[in-house]
Amino acid sequence: MQSPPKLKPGDKIAIIATARKISTDEIKPAVEILQKWGFETVFGRNLFRENNQFAGTDNERTEDLQWALNDESINAILCARGGYGTVKIIDKIDFSKFSDKPKWIIGYSDVTVLHSHIHKNFEIETLHATMPINFPKNKEENESLISLRKALTEEKISYEITPHPLNKVGEADGVLVGGNLSILYSLSATKSDINTDGKILFIEDLDEYLYHIDRMMMNLKRSGKLANLAGLVVGGMSDMNDNTIPYGKTAVEIIKEAVEEYSYPVCFGFQAGHIADNKALILGRNAKLNVNNEVKLEFSNDLNSAKSLKNLLQQSKGIILAITALFAFIYLFLRLIKYLFG
């Protein structure tokens, strides 16, 4: 996985909407907070367009995302909100410039389409984190914002949470992937569908019927996405719905039942998703999950170290080749001397 460069004061963050529409009033607190952090904010040309529930037509939303991906002066892309609509434009996007020069893409909920597509096809880290629609109107930094700022500036982040009674203990080490369960389910068997083998899967959801949660978990199970996980992290399962005849289990009980046969650790109640305390998660980054009397999720900086080493080796390529050639010459010269005078 590639890690986009960290942000520094003066860097430019583009705010766009790939799904539901948003107003200037709704976005104002985010602009003020980001500027307070030292970043410059710029808007997609079509950010405040309206087309029924969408932030403009498919073509207008595509135009804004493509602009933000291609513009080399932009250092990060912050999706204004979720809703529905990103899947309608994902196949229109050219990611070639983005893959050559990655930048942070930030959001959650419907933005899971971008996370999943980018991980599957380009192996670039992205940020599952709060969005402008959720920035507090009083402009005070909450835990969600603090974790976002730390992730963007590459401060080491790790989380400790209170153990949930349904947790399955154990330790896991693997790349963190995932996002919104409904979106992951909708991407099954498409070119945006992620590979979960050997990875830590994160899922969360909002406003779903309980039997839908079971249907989606059965899809993940039958498609092999649950069998070979390193671990499972379950975030907010918020505002679930039930029928007149009760389903008989909560969302977390449904998930627990779906993974009961597997031996990897499972963490319930993680503070991320459609909840007030939506911690930033670096999707695509190697992480360690420890589920025991305490629960800890810690992200590794090893990938950044490896990236720095790779850059150093590339810069030293000429010197390395020259030294190799010199040793080869000396070796052949000594063999020749031994042959002539041996």
What is residue 185's predicted lDDT score, i.e. its pLDDT? 98
What is residue 303's predicted lDDT score, i.e. its pLDDT? 43
Name, in order, each residue with C-beta under 8 angstroms of 147's C-beta and a sequence gap of 6 or more: 129, 157, 279, 280
What is residue 310's predicted lDDT score, i.e. its pLDDT? 43
Task: Tell me which residue range forms the domain holding 37.
Answer: 1-155
E strand or H helix that includes residue 294: none
Using a cut of 0.75, tell me whether the model's pTM lies above it. yes
- Same domain flag for 144 and 162: no
What is residue 25's predicted lDDT score, i.e. its pLDDT? 97
- Helix (H/G/I), strand (E/B), else coil: 37: coil
Instruction: Give the pair of three-digit tokens for residue 174.
Output: 């693997």
- Helix (H/G/I), strand (E/B), else coil: 42: strand
- Same domain flag for 210 and 150: no
Q: Please give the C-alpha separations between residue 195 and each of 46, 125, 184, 285, in angstroms, as whole numbers.
A: 33, 15, 11, 14
| 40-43, strands of its sheet edge to edge | 40-43, 12-16, 76-79, 104-107, 126-128, 281-283
Residue 252 CA to residue 207 CA, distance in Å, equals 14
pLDDT by residue for the chain (342 residues), tens only, comes to: 899 999 999 999 999 999 999 999 999 999 999 999 999 999 999 999 999 999 999 999 999 999 999 999 999 999 999 999 999 999 999 999 999 999 999 999 999 999 999 999 999 999 999 999 999 999 999 999 999 999 999 998 999 999 999 999 999 999 999 999 999 999 999 999 999 999 999 999 999 999 999 999 999 999 999 999 999 999 999 999 999 999 999 999 999 999 999 999 999 999 999 999 999 999 999 999 999 999 999 998 754 444 444 443 444 455 666 676 677 677 676 666 666 665
What is residue 342's predicted lDDT score, i.e. its pLDDT? 59
What is residue 311's predicted lDDT score, i.e. its pLDDT? 42
- Same domain flag for 94 and 187: no
- Under DSSP, the state recorded for 113 is H
Q: Give the bridge partners for 13, in sequence order.
A: 41, 76
- Same domain flag for 123 and 253: no
Number of domains in the chain: 3
* CATH value at residue 201: 3.50.30.60
Residue type at position 164: H
Question: Which residues are catalytic, by number?
Answer: 109, 204, 274
CA-atom Rg of the chain in angstroms: 23
- Same domain flag for 111 and 174: no
- Same domain flag for 108 and 12: yes
CA atoms within 13 A on the CB side of 23: 2
Q: Give the bridge partners for 283, in sequence order.
A: 126
What is residue 330's predicted lDDT score, i.e. its pLDDT? 74
- Same domain flag for 337 and 189: no
- Same domain flag for 104 and 226: no
Q: Look at residues 140, 102, 155 and name the one whose alpha carbon lies nearest to residue 299.
A: 155
- Same domain flag for 207 and 313: no
Q: Give the bridge partners for 266, in sequence order.
A: 168, 232
- Same domain flag for 292 and 178: yes
- Same domain flag for 129 and 56: yes
- Same domain flag for 160 and 147: no
* CATH value at residue 72: 3.40.50.10740
E strand or H helix that includes residue 213: helix 210-222
What is residue 327's predicted lDDT score, i.e. its pLDDT? 73
